[in-house]
Amino acid sequence: MIRIALKDGSVIEKEPGLTCLQVAEGISAGLARAALAAELDGKTVSLTTPIKKDCALSILTWESDEGKWVLRHTASHILAQAVKRLYPETKLAIGPAIKDGFYYDFDSETVFTPEVLEKLEAEMQKIVKENLPLTRFELPREEALRFMREKNEPYKVELIEDLPEDAVISFYTQGDFTDLCAGPHLPGTGLVKAFKLTSCTGAYWRGDSKNKMLQRIYGTAFTKKSEMDEYLARLEEAKRRDHRKLGKELDLFALMDEGPGFPFFFPRGMVLRNILEQYWREEHTRAGYEEIRTPLILNEELWHRSGHWDHYKENMYFTKIDGEDYAIKPMNCPGGMLAFKRKPVSYRDLPIRMAEMGVVHRHELSGALHGLFRVRCFTQDDAHLFMTPEQVPGEIAGVIELIDRIYKVFGFKYHVELSTCPEDFMGTQEQRELVEGALRQVLEARGMSYTVNEGDGAFYGPKIDFHLEDSIGRTWQCGTIQLDIQMPERFDLTYTGADGEKHRPVMIHRVAFGSMERFIGILIENYAGAFPAWLAPVQVILLPITDRTHEYTKAVAERLTAEGFRVETDLRNEKIGYKIREAQVQKVPYMLVLGDKEAEAGVVAVRSRAAGDLGVMGLDGFIAKLKEEVASKS
């Protein structure tokens, strides 16, 4: 008998050789029906894996990320089998599961149009109905190479050739289809109850633009059709909210062929940016920050000193000035170091909090550019805080409080990740443990739940990342707090301590918005372009019914402008219904309809973008209402 430790802490004894699924059936018929895969001694495996020795076992269902991954990985194999059945000349590349779905890359003479995707879905349905078992087998390297060459699968041959000499080379077969794969998979294709192919794009083999462009088919898969329908509805809602589409419709910004990755902001977009910057400055002044600005271009030596040259030069732009080598800054940190170092600092001056709306440039591959979310030129709301070691917990806590306050104004919920130091961390193991421990200590002291993201910190230190949740449930990584003892060392930053000796400060890098451009894109999609009144580029539009009320309209516009509101008038010779619809499309919070009666009585007929007709108000009453709404940032 072997002993199997279950997730709930209990231990059961079973005959060796039973599969994970058979053990699940012995525990509960319901658990077995819900099972998709298993975790055996911490490793995700197929349900058909036999248990041969004492172990820890968890049965993975749809509720687990691993269960979703296995189901979607299997769906990618079903897609590949359908492609090979309908278009046998196609060569297979790779097909992993990804967040919310899967993809598979193909080299095919057939162009995978929407009509072709429909045919592939129909063939996938047949494969699911056949409920083909997925069976695993292994081959020695030379046999595996011969096997794939005979199948005329050059991409699979290349993958095998690149595996380590001692690698286990495994395959999965389902009916007439076999694929090179490490697994694991579902026991049979019939468990993929609901799926949808969503799009097809180009993708270079292995992500290298020097390689051939393949066709990548994306899809998603679920255990229930209702869950898939809900997901697809969210996708449609996301398309409706796409910031690139709304940015054009609302005339906020554009990305042009003359400057790919370098966004243009138009008057309304600049109003939105300026409001955000003004709010940012108010909050930072309140929190004890001083604002600085550092140069856009600095000499190459500085980037060697900072470590960016060794870790980031592939993403940097360079130029020459007077025969000397310079770099356009990809980050604001080195400039912040020089700003601190400009004069002697005493322990009595610390902490020093320096904030900067700094424009940075990073060379992103053209295929990675995406609206305002991934650009080559953007503004970071950076801050660099310098402190004594004793001040570190309090300063980290203060940054968390500031970021929390900012996000709450926009109605964002968020969760936190602790990203630990990467392999190319510049410091020692002792320093790594020190800075990672400091961040953990603050999070735990504040009772904040967090997950650990191993190795995703900066090369100079670990960080706390803030992931915002928007109005349709998507998450976005924005704010970050990075603890750094490397940069002060590299730049020889010092302060005079109470003992009269020189000491090295500790530094925090942090952002709240992250990238201003990206944050604006997130806000556009979160609000679907319908910004609250305090953020709206145009807060009020005046809609005269006839030419006779133009003078009254002008007087109302002047009064509202004098009160500090952002106002437009629509004096076109159009019907009032048309003007109202146009204002709704432009997502203006308030429309004031002005006819003869309103002009005669000195009142305004108010329409709200959200609530519709609010009736007639005195102008003073409307002004008081809007002022309260703007002041409260509701």
Binding residues for Zn(2+), by number, are: 333, 384, 509
| pLDDT tens digits, one per residue of 234-273 | 989 999 999 999 999 999 999 999 999 999 999 999 999 9
Looking at 81, 174, 215, 380, which residue is catalytic?
Answer: 380
Does residue 372 contact residue 253 with C-beta atoms inside 8 Å? yes
Looking at 362, 374, 518, 587, which residue is catalytic?
Answer: 362
- Concatenated DSSP letters for 436-474? HHHHHHHHHHTT--EEEETT-SBTTB-EEEEEEE-TTS-
Looking at 384, 503, 579, 587, which residue is catalytic?
Answer: 384
| pLDDT tens digits, one per residue of 122-149 | 999 999 999 999 999 999 999 999 999 9
Catalytic annotation on 181? no
Catalytic annotation on 243? no
Catalytic annotation on 380? yes
CA 517, CA 255: separation in Å to the nearest integer?
12
What's residue 454's pLDDT? 86
Backbone angles phi, psi at 542, to 5 degrees: -100, 130
Cα Rg for the chain, rounded, in angstroms? 30
Report helix, strand and coil shares of the chain as percent, to nearest 5: 40, 30, 30
Mean pLDDT for the stretch of residues 473-501:
93
User: Which amino acid appears at position 49 of this protein?
Assistant: T
| pLDDT tens digits, one per residue of 296-336 | 999 999 999 988 888 788 999 999 999 999 999 999 999 99
State the pLDDT confidence band at 113, using cuts at 50, 70 and 90: very high
Token pair 């201003």 is found at: 516
User: Which amino acid appears at position 57 of this protein?
Assistant: L
The runs of H, that is alpha helices, within 313-377 are 333-341
What's residue 279's pLDDT? 97
Catalytic annotation on 333? yes
Does residue 435 contact residue 487 with C-beta atoms inside 8 Å? no
- Asked if pLDDT for residue 171 goes beyond 80, the answer is yes
Token pair 């097909």 is found at: 95
User: Residue 315 has what DSSP assignment?
Assistant: G
CA 580, CA 382: separation in Å to the nearest integer?
41
Does residue 377 contact residue 361 with C-beta atoms inside 8 Å? yes
Backbone angles phi, psi at 364, to 5 degrees: -100, 140
The mean pLDDT of the chain is 94
State the pLDDT confidence band at 195, using cuts at 50, 70 and 90: very high
Catalytic annotation on 53? no
Q: Which two tokens stand for residue 56?
A: 């820890």
- Asked if pLDDT for residue 542 goes beyond 90, the answer is yes
How many other C-beta atoms can be found within 10 angstroms of the C-beta atom of residue 205? 17
CA 289, CA 281: separation in Å to the nearest integer?
9
Token pair 């020692």 is found at: 428
Mean pLDDT for the stretch of residues 591-613:
96
Token pair 């909090």 is found at: 353
State the pLDDT confidence band at 424, using cuts at 50, 70 and 90: confident
CA 156, CA 134: separation in Å to the nearest integer?
19
State the pLDDT confidence band at 437, using cuts at 50, 70 and 90: confident
Looking at 77, 243, 329, 509, which residue is catalytic?
Answer: 509
State the pLDDT confidence band at 367, using cuts at 50, 70 and 90: confident
Looking at 200, 333, 421, 478, which residue is catalytic?
Answer: 333
- Asked if pLDDT for residue 399 goes beyond 90, the answer is yes
- Asked if pLDDT for residue 50 goes beyond 90, the answer is yes
State the pLDDT confidence band at 438, using cuts at 50, 70 and 90: confident
What's residue 486's pLDDT? 86
Catalytic annotation on 362? yes
CA 359, CA 357: separation in Å to the nearest integer?
7
Residues in the chain: 634
Q: Which two tokens stand for residue 592?
A: 């004031």
Binding residues, by number, are: 333, 384, 509
Looking at 179, 381, 382, 570, which residue is catalytic?
Answer: 382
Does residue 480 contact residue 463 with C-beta atoms inside 8 Å? yes
Q: Which two tokens stand for residue 249?
A: 């419709």
What's residue 457's pLDDT? 80
| C-alpha distances in Å from residue 447, one per residue of 397, 403, 412, 425 | 12, 16, 19, 28
Q: Which domains are delineated in the chain? A: 2-61 (3.10.20.30), 66-239 (3.30.980.10), 253-526 (3.30.930.10), 540-631 (3.40.50.800)
Does residue 480 contact residue 466 with C-beta atoms inside 8 Å? yes
Q: Name 12's Cβ contacts closer than 8 Å, sequence gap at least 6.
A: 3, 4, 6, 23, 26, 27
Catalytic annotation on 363? no
| pLDDT tens digits, one per residue of 86-104 | 999 999 999 999 989 999 9
Looking at 463, 503, 566, 607, which residue is catalytic?
Answer: 463
| pLDDT tens digits, one per residue of 56-83 | 999 999 999 999 999 999 999 999 999 9
